[in-house]
Amino acid sequence: MKLHHKIAKIFGYDCIKIKKNHLTLESHLANILSGSGIDLVLDVGGNEGQFGSMLREIGYSGRIISFEPVSHVYEQLKVVAADDVNWDVVNIALGAENEEMEINVTASSDFSSFMSASDYGAEKYSGSAAVLRKEKVAVRKLDDVISDYVPDLDAVKTHLKLDAQGFEPSVVKGGTTVLSHALTLQAEMAVQKIYQDMPDYMQSLQLYRDKGFEVTGMYPVSRDRETQILIEFDCVMKKIGRKD
Protein backbone atom coordinates (compact mmCIF):
# COMPACT_ATOMS: atom_id res chain seq x y z
CA MET A 1 0.00 0.00 0.00
CA LYS A 2 1.39 3.39 -0.98
CA LEU A 3 2.18 5.93 1.72
CA HIS A 4 -0.61 8.38 0.78
CA HIS A 5 -3.18 5.56 1.02
CA LYS A 6 -1.85 4.60 4.46
CA ILE A 7 -2.03 8.18 5.70
CA ALA A 8 -5.57 8.61 4.35
CA LYS A 9 -6.75 5.42 6.09
CA ILE A 10 -5.41 6.64 9.44
CA PHE A 11 -7.91 9.49 9.23
CA GLY A 12 -10.74 7.29 7.93
CA TYR A 13 -10.44 8.23 4.25
CA ASP A 14 -9.32 6.59 1.04
CA CYS A 15 -7.60 7.98 -2.04
CA ILE A 16 -8.97 7.33 -5.50
CA LYS A 17 -7.87 8.62 -8.87
CA ILE A 18 -10.70 10.28 -10.75
CA LYS A 19 -10.87 8.92 -14.29
CA LYS A 20 -13.34 9.27 -17.11
CA ASN A 21 -15.67 6.66 -15.61
CA HIS A 22 -16.80 9.19 -12.97
CA LEU A 23 -16.28 7.40 -9.67
CA THR A 24 -17.96 10.15 -7.64
CA LEU A 25 -21.28 11.90 -7.90
CA GLU A 26 -19.48 15.22 -8.13
CA SER A 27 -17.27 14.23 -11.05
CA HIS A 28 -20.19 12.65 -12.88
CA LEU A 29 -22.42 15.68 -12.39
CA ALA A 30 -19.68 18.01 -13.58
CA ASN A 31 -19.39 15.95 -16.74
CA ILE A 32 -23.08 15.48 -17.47
CA LEU A 33 -24.07 19.09 -16.75
CA SER A 34 -21.36 20.50 -18.98
CA GLY A 35 -21.84 17.83 -21.63
CA SER A 36 -25.59 18.50 -21.80
CA GLY A 37 -25.12 22.28 -21.82
CA ILE A 38 -27.24 22.66 -18.66
CA ASP A 39 -27.83 26.30 -17.75
CA LEU A 40 -30.73 25.88 -15.27
CA VAL A 41 -30.83 23.60 -12.22
CA LEU A 42 -34.11 23.17 -10.36
CA ASP A 43 -33.13 22.10 -6.84
CA VAL A 44 -36.24 20.53 -5.28
CA GLY A 45 -35.45 20.03 -1.61
CA GLY A 46 -32.87 22.76 -1.25
CA ASN A 47 -32.39 22.18 2.49
CA GLU A 48 -29.51 24.35 3.74
CA GLY A 49 -27.93 24.82 0.33
CA GLN A 50 -25.62 21.80 0.32
CA PHE A 51 -26.45 20.80 -3.25
CA GLY A 52 -26.27 24.31 -4.68
CA SER A 53 -22.93 24.89 -2.98
CA MET A 54 -21.62 21.61 -4.37
CA LEU A 55 -22.66 22.68 -7.87
CA ARG A 56 -20.57 25.82 -7.55
CA GLU A 57 -17.62 23.80 -6.25
CA ILE A 58 -17.65 21.52 -9.31
CA GLY A 59 -17.67 24.48 -11.68
CA TYR A 60 -21.35 24.91 -12.58
CA SER A 61 -21.96 28.66 -12.98
CA GLY A 62 -25.49 28.64 -14.43
CA ARG A 63 -28.75 29.48 -12.74
CA ILE A 64 -30.01 27.59 -9.68
CA ILE A 65 -33.55 27.75 -8.27
CA SER A 66 -33.86 26.03 -4.89
CA PHE A 67 -37.21 25.15 -3.31
CA GLU A 68 -37.33 24.64 0.47
CA PRO A 69 -40.58 24.63 2.51
CA VAL A 70 -39.45 24.53 6.16
CA SER A 71 -39.20 28.11 7.41
CA HIS A 72 -36.05 28.00 9.57
CA VAL A 73 -34.21 25.85 7.01
CA TYR A 74 -35.21 28.28 4.26
CA GLU A 75 -33.69 31.13 6.29
CA GLN A 76 -30.37 29.27 6.39
CA LEU A 77 -30.63 28.56 2.67
CA LYS A 78 -31.13 32.28 2.01
CA VAL A 79 -27.92 33.09 3.85
CA VAL A 80 -25.91 30.54 1.85
CA ALA A 81 -27.26 31.83 -1.49
CA ALA A 82 -27.29 35.53 -0.57
CA ASP A 83 -24.12 36.55 -2.42
CA ASP A 84 -24.86 34.47 -5.52
CA VAL A 85 -26.80 36.55 -8.04
CA ASN A 86 -27.55 33.45 -10.11
CA TRP A 87 -29.13 31.47 -7.27
CA ASP A 88 -32.81 32.01 -6.38
CA VAL A 89 -34.44 30.46 -3.31
CA VAL A 90 -38.19 29.86 -2.92
CA ASN A 91 -40.03 29.11 0.34
CA ILE A 92 -42.56 26.52 -0.89
CA ALA A 93 -42.94 22.76 -1.23
CA LEU A 94 -43.73 21.20 -4.57
CA GLY A 95 -46.43 18.58 -5.03
CA ALA A 96 -49.34 17.27 -7.08
CA GLU A 97 -51.84 19.95 -6.02
CA ASN A 98 -51.88 23.59 -4.93
CA GLU A 99 -52.73 23.34 -1.25
CA GLU A 100 -51.56 23.79 2.32
CA MET A 101 -50.08 20.79 4.13
CA GLU A 102 -48.41 20.01 7.43
CA ILE A 103 -44.82 18.84 7.20
CA ASN A 104 -43.03 16.90 9.94
CA VAL A 105 -40.09 19.00 11.06
CA THR A 106 -37.38 16.68 12.35
CA ALA A 107 -34.32 16.99 14.57
CA SER A 108 -32.07 16.80 11.52
CA SER A 109 -33.45 19.04 8.79
CA ASP A 110 -32.71 16.60 5.97
CA PHE A 111 -35.29 14.14 7.36
CA SER A 112 -38.25 16.58 7.38
CA SER A 113 -41.06 15.08 5.33
CA PHE A 114 -44.78 15.04 4.67
CA MET A 115 -44.58 11.31 5.36
CA SER A 116 -44.28 9.50 8.67
CA ALA A 117 -41.22 7.38 9.36
CA SER A 118 -41.48 3.66 8.66
CA ASP A 119 -40.66 1.19 11.41
CA TYR A 120 -37.26 0.78 9.79
CA GLY A 121 -36.68 4.53 9.56
CA ALA A 122 -37.81 5.17 13.13
CA GLU A 123 -35.46 2.50 14.45
CA LYS A 124 -32.51 3.33 12.22
CA TYR A 125 -32.71 7.12 12.62
CA SER A 126 -34.43 7.44 15.98
CA GLY A 127 -32.59 10.67 16.84
CA SER A 128 -32.22 12.42 13.50
CA ALA A 129 -35.73 11.59 12.26
CA ALA A 130 -37.48 12.44 15.53
CA VAL A 131 -40.40 14.82 14.83
CA LEU A 132 -40.00 18.05 16.79
CA ARG A 133 -43.15 19.76 15.51
CA LYS A 134 -45.47 20.07 12.55
CA GLU A 135 -45.43 23.17 10.33
CA LYS A 136 -48.05 24.24 7.82
CA VAL A 137 -46.45 25.01 4.46
CA ALA A 138 -47.57 26.07 1.00
CA VAL A 139 -47.49 23.30 -1.60
CA ARG A 140 -47.56 24.28 -5.25
CA LYS A 141 -47.42 22.44 -8.57
CA LEU A 142 -44.08 23.00 -10.26
CA ASP A 143 -45.83 23.52 -13.60
CA ASP A 144 -47.87 26.36 -12.06
CA VAL A 145 -44.96 28.27 -10.52
CA ILE A 146 -42.17 27.76 -13.01
CA SER A 147 -43.27 30.66 -15.23
CA ASP A 148 -42.69 33.05 -12.29
CA TYR A 149 -38.98 32.28 -12.58
CA VAL A 150 -38.45 30.86 -16.07
CA PRO A 151 -40.62 32.55 -18.74
CA ASP A 152 -39.59 30.17 -21.52
CA LEU A 153 -38.56 26.58 -20.75
CA ASP A 154 -37.63 26.04 -24.38
CA ALA A 155 -34.93 28.69 -24.02
CA VAL A 156 -33.04 26.84 -21.27
CA LYS A 157 -31.47 23.43 -20.76
CA THR A 158 -32.74 22.06 -17.47
CA HIS A 159 -31.42 19.65 -14.84
CA LEU A 160 -34.07 18.64 -12.29
CA LYS A 161 -32.84 17.45 -8.88
CA LEU A 162 -35.40 15.77 -6.61
CA ASP A 163 -34.83 15.13 -2.91
CA ALA A 164 -38.27 15.37 -1.30
CA GLN A 165 -38.03 12.61 1.30
CA GLY A 166 -40.46 10.19 -0.31
CA PHE A 167 -42.70 12.87 -1.84
CA GLU A 168 -41.02 12.77 -5.26
CA PRO A 169 -43.95 11.10 -7.12
CA SER A 170 -46.20 13.99 -6.11
CA VAL A 171 -43.61 16.50 -7.33
CA VAL A 172 -43.46 14.66 -10.66
CA LYS A 173 -47.25 14.60 -10.95
CA GLY A 174 -47.38 18.37 -10.53
CA GLY A 175 -44.43 19.00 -12.84
CA THR A 176 -45.04 16.95 -15.98
CA THR A 177 -44.45 19.90 -18.31
CA VAL A 178 -41.18 20.81 -16.61
CA LEU A 179 -40.11 17.17 -16.63
CA SER A 180 -40.83 16.90 -20.36
CA HIS A 181 -38.40 19.80 -20.95
CA ALA A 182 -35.67 18.55 -18.58
CA LEU A 183 -32.63 17.02 -20.24
CA THR A 184 -31.12 15.49 -17.11
CA LEU A 185 -32.51 14.34 -13.79
CA GLN A 186 -31.17 13.47 -10.35
CA ALA A 187 -33.24 11.78 -7.66
CA GLU A 188 -32.59 10.18 -4.30
CA MET A 189 -33.95 6.62 -4.27
CA ALA A 190 -34.66 4.23 -1.41
CA VAL A 191 -33.48 0.65 -1.19
CA GLN A 192 -34.75 0.49 2.38
CA LYS A 193 -37.89 2.57 2.93
CA ILE A 194 -37.40 5.06 5.75
CA TYR A 195 -40.89 6.58 5.34
CA GLN A 196 -44.27 4.91 5.18
CA ASP A 197 -45.76 4.56 1.68
CA MET A 198 -42.70 5.94 -0.11
CA PRO A 199 -41.68 4.26 -3.38
CA ASP A 200 -38.71 1.94 -3.42
CA TYR A 201 -35.95 2.31 -6.00
CA MET A 202 -37.55 -0.11 -8.47
CA GLN A 203 -40.76 1.93 -8.50
CA SER A 204 -38.80 5.18 -8.76
CA LEU A 205 -36.69 3.92 -11.64
CA GLN A 206 -39.80 2.85 -13.53
CA LEU A 207 -41.44 6.23 -12.91
CA TYR A 208 -38.54 8.13 -14.44
CA ARG A 209 -37.96 5.65 -17.26
CA ASP A 210 -41.61 6.07 -18.21
CA LYS A 211 -40.82 9.78 -18.57
CA GLY A 212 -38.01 9.04 -21.02
CA PHE A 213 -34.95 8.98 -18.72
CA GLU A 214 -32.22 6.36 -18.54
CA VAL A 215 -29.62 5.86 -15.81
CA THR A 216 -26.15 7.33 -16.22
CA GLY A 217 -24.90 6.78 -12.67
CA MET A 218 -25.83 5.52 -9.19
CA TYR A 219 -24.04 6.80 -6.08
CA PRO A 220 -24.57 5.53 -2.50
CA VAL A 221 -25.87 8.06 0.03
CA SER A 222 -26.12 5.79 3.08
CA ARG A 223 -25.82 2.11 3.94
CA ASP A 224 -26.43 -0.15 6.91
CA ARG A 225 -23.07 -0.51 8.64
CA GLU A 226 -23.82 -4.00 9.91
CA THR A 227 -25.16 -5.57 6.71
CA GLN A 228 -23.53 -3.21 4.15
CA ILE A 229 -26.92 -3.07 2.39
CA LEU A 230 -27.67 0.28 0.77
CA ILE A 231 -30.34 2.44 2.35
CA GLU A 232 -30.46 5.24 -0.24
CA PHE A 233 -28.57 6.26 -3.35
CA ASP A 234 -28.47 9.21 -5.73
CA CYS A 235 -29.45 8.28 -9.27
CA VAL A 236 -28.46 10.52 -12.19
CA MET A 237 -30.41 10.09 -15.43
CA LYS A 238 -30.47 11.54 -18.93
CA LYS A 239 -33.41 12.07 -21.29
CA ILE A 240 -33.66 9.59 -24.11
CA GLY A 241 -36.48 10.97 -26.27
CA ARG A 242 -39.43 12.93 -24.94
CA LYS A 243 -42.44 11.48 -23.11
CA ASP A 244 -45.17 13.49 -21.37
Per-residue pLDDT of the chain (244 residues; tens, 9 = 90+): 555 555 656 666 665 554 555 589 999 999 999 999 999 999 999 999 999 999 999 999 999 999 999 999 999 999 999 999 999 999 999 999 999 999 999 999 989 999 999 999 989 898 888 899 999 999 999 999 999 999 999 999 999 999 999 999 999 999 999 999 999 999 999 999 999 999 999 999 999 999 999 999 999 999 988 889 999 999 999 998 644 4
CA atoms within 13 A on the CB side of 223: 8
Specify whether the CB–CB gap between 195 and 103 falls below 8 A.
no
The CATH superfamily holding the domain 37-102+135-239 is Vaccinia Virus protein VP39 (3.40.50.150)
CA distance to 15, 30, 73, 78, 165, per residue, from 23 (Å): 12, 12, 31, 31, 25
Supply the pTM of this predicted model. Answer: 0.88
Q: Phi and psi at residue 183, in whole multiples of 5°?
A: -90, -35
3-class DSSP assignment, residue 55: helix
Segments making up each domain of the chain, as ranges: 37-102+135-239
In terms of Cα–Cα distance, which of 155, 158, 127, 130 is closest to 142? 158
Amino acid at the residue 233: F
Kind and range of the H or E element at 237? strand 230-239
| Whole-number Å distance between alpha carbons of 55 and 41 | 9
